[in-house]
């Protein structure tokens, strides 16, 4: 009964909203307000994929999954990606429509995090697609907590969490690094709350650039520290690319 309810929830709410958001993102790409660099590296028809991104704002958990629009339209149950936002930011009732394709990663609750990781592992082993933000929060919220890595040109990335390494190691899923620039200008992390619609993305005057890197694959023999280091290096290399 639970699976039937989830399937109906997906078809009635998640699928239509995904189509609308996907069409909006494609329109913004057509207008040049969202640019996809190295589209040939994007895993369009592959299964068992972890799309790994930096996390400059709250917009990436919405934008990145709908880049799979074509696959989502034709095979919604096979190619609908799973997003992994923080429960504190996406737990409100207005996000109810996306619940069938969300695995929340709770902060500060180790047991709950492990339950989420085990669920993601099962999804990947079944050929699912997972969008992850392994910094453990937005880049701007690092503050003085934890290590912050920097690229040659000064782009910042929080040290990646071991959950990514666990999934890459145990599932041998294809890990595709993605670097996103500009979403923190479209949807600021510190919005002007005097403005009525301070949480509405403002694309006019701003461009979001999404750079896709070559896929990486790891084995059980690889150490977790090596996995996170290799992925972080790939992300920071993408960050320093200047061509769009």
CA distances from 218 to 134, 221, 222 (A): 16, 8, 6
Q: What is the pLDDT of residue 196?
A: 45
Q: Cα(129)–Cα(82) distance, rounded to whole angstroms?
A: 6
Q: Give the chain's length.
A: 244
User: Helix %, strand %, coil % for the chain, to 5?
Assistant: 45, 15, 40
Q: What is the pLDDT of residue 181?
A: 95
Delimit the domains of the chain by residue range. Answer: 2-239
CATH 3.40.1130 fits 2-239, yes or no: yes
Cβ of 231: how many Cβ atoms within 10 Å?
24
Q: What is the pLDDT of residue 192?
A: 59
Q: What is the pLDDT of residue 238?
A: 96
Give which of 102, 13, 21, 127 is closest to 67, Cα–Cα: 21
* Encoded tokens for 47: 């299964």
List all residues 6 or more positions away from 10 whose beta carbon is below 8 Å from its beta carbon.
Answer: 76, 77, 80, 100, 101
Task: Write the DSSP assignment of the chain as a string of letters.
Answer: -HHHHHHHHIIIIIHHHHHHHHHHHHHHHHTTSEEEE-GGGS-TT-SSEEEEE--SSSSHHHHTGGGGHHHHHH-HHHH-PEE---HHHH-SGGGGGGGGGB----SS-HHHHHHHHHHHHHHHHTT-EEEE-TTSS-GGG-TTSS-EEE-TT--EEEPPPHHHHHHHHHH-PEEEEEEEESHHHHS-SS--TTSTTTTS---TT--EEEEEPPPB---TTS-HHHHHHHHHHHHHHHHT----
Q: What is the pLDDT of residue 194?
A: 52
Q: What angle do CA 236, 242, 244 make, to 5 degrees?
A: 110
Query: Can you give the pTM of this predicted structure?
Result: 0.91
Stretches where the chain sits below pLDDT 50 are: 196
Q: What is the pLDDT of residue 195?
A: 53
């Amino acid at each position: 009964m639970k699976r039937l309810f989830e399937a109906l929830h997906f078809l009635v709410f998640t699928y239509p909203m995904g189509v609308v958001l996907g069409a909006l993102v494609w329109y913004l790409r057509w207008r040049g307000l969202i640019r996809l660099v190295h589209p040939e590296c994007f895993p369009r028809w592959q299964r068992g994929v972890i799309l790994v991104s930096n996390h400059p704002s709250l917009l990436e958990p919405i934008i990145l999954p709908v880049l799979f629009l074509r696959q989502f339209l034709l095979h919604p149950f096979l190619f609908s990606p799973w997003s992994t936002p923080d429960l504190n930011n996406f737990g409100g009732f207005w996000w109810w429509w996306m619940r069938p394709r969300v695995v929340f990663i709770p902060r500060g609750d180790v047991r709950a995090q492990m339950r989420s990781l085990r669920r993601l592992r099962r999804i990947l082993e079944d050929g699912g697609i997972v969008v992850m933000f392994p910094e453990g929060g937005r880049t701007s919220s690092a503050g003085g907590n934890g290590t912050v890595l920097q690229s040659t040109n000064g782009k910042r990335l929080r040290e990646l969490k071991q959950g990514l390494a666990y999934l890459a190691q145990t599932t041998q899923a294809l890990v595709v690094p993605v670097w996103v620039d500009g979403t923190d200008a479209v949807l600021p992390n510190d919005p002007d709350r005097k403005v009525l619609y301070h949480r509405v993305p403002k694309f006019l005057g701003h461009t979001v650039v999404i750079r896709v890197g070559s896929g990486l694959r790891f084995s059980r023999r690889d150490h977790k520290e090596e996995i996170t280091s290799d992925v972080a290096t790939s992300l920071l290399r993408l960050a320093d690319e200047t061509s769009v």
